[in-house]
Amino acid sequence: MGQQLPIEPPDSPRRAAVFGAALALACGISSGCETERSTIKTMGSFHIAGDGMYEGVQRWRDAATPEERAEIDKLIARKDVLIHIFLAEGRLSDLVSRGGASGWASDDMMKRVCDFHPIVATFARELNWDVVYDPRRAEEFEKQYGIPNSIEVILQHEFFGHVLLGLKDPKLAGMVAKNKQLKMANERQALDIENAYRRRRGYRVVPPELVFPR
């Protein structure tokens, strides 16, 4: 899916420019990936697109604990990793999300969320991630349960609950994606991480029974 970009060194300015141009083109022709005519802003390994997304990432980093910020900054500094953080208005199903999702960019679900996704040959499959925020789905959940899901909450859940785990152990990430029980266990762990963040920020927590009905 998408076009094959020429291989460039990970820190090549040309690679960053080519990738940004390809992704910006994608945004201009497809409403399924970020907003139309969106521009790509980079923060090291983070390639961020969609109105308010870059600012949301900044707020999330600023609110992190020193330990969390160190993890975030290490990830931003990596040159072997690509993480595409983008807005996907109305693209996530209420069956699978409260407003956020993450996974390898090559996963079928991510391809459905983003209709056009350039393939970047520089990065290994397990080091090329998508992190998605769907404000419409977040708003629907808030209307139903009275619990907001801000960009920062979604980022905390996806990065510390899924992305970092997957980057540390790609084999485990592959197993989790294919095994329903492992996936459920990981989702419970991610919710615990999210709720700890919510308590620290003074936000309402998400009762597990809302996400994991008996």
Three-class DSSP category at 58: helix
Tokens of 68: 């969390």
Per residue in 151-187, is it b (16+ CB within 10 Å) or e — as a string? bbbbbbbbbbbbbbbbbeeeeebeebeeeeeeeeebb
pTM: 0.80
pLDDT at 38: 55
Please tell me what DSSP assigns to residue 214.
Answer: -
The whole-number pLDDT of residue 95 equals 60
Instruction: List, edge to edge, every strand of the sheet that includes 46-49.
Output: 40-43, 46-49, 82-87, 128-133, 100-104
Structure tokens at 140: 């629907």
Confidence (pLDDT) at 82: 93
**H or E element, residue 132:** strand 128-133
State residue 30's pLDDT score.
35
Q: What is the pLDDT of residues 54-99, one digit of tens each?
A: 999 999 999 999 999 999 999 999 999 999 999 988 888 766 689 9
For residue 120, the model assigns a pLDDT of 59
What does pLDDT average to over the chain? 81
Tens place of pLDDT per residue across the chain (214 aa): 333 333 344 444 444 444 444 444 333 333 345 544 458 899 999 999 999 999 999 999 999 999 999 999 999 999 999 999 999 888 887 666 899 999 888 887 787 787 655 555 678 889 999 999 999 999 999 999 999 999 999 999 999 999 999 999 888 877 877 888 888 889 999 999 999 999 999 999 999 998 887 7
pLDDT at position 3: 37
Query: Token pair for residue 189?
Result: 């762990």
| pLDDT at position 121 | 62
Domain boundaries, the chain: 13-211
Three-class SS of residue 9? coil
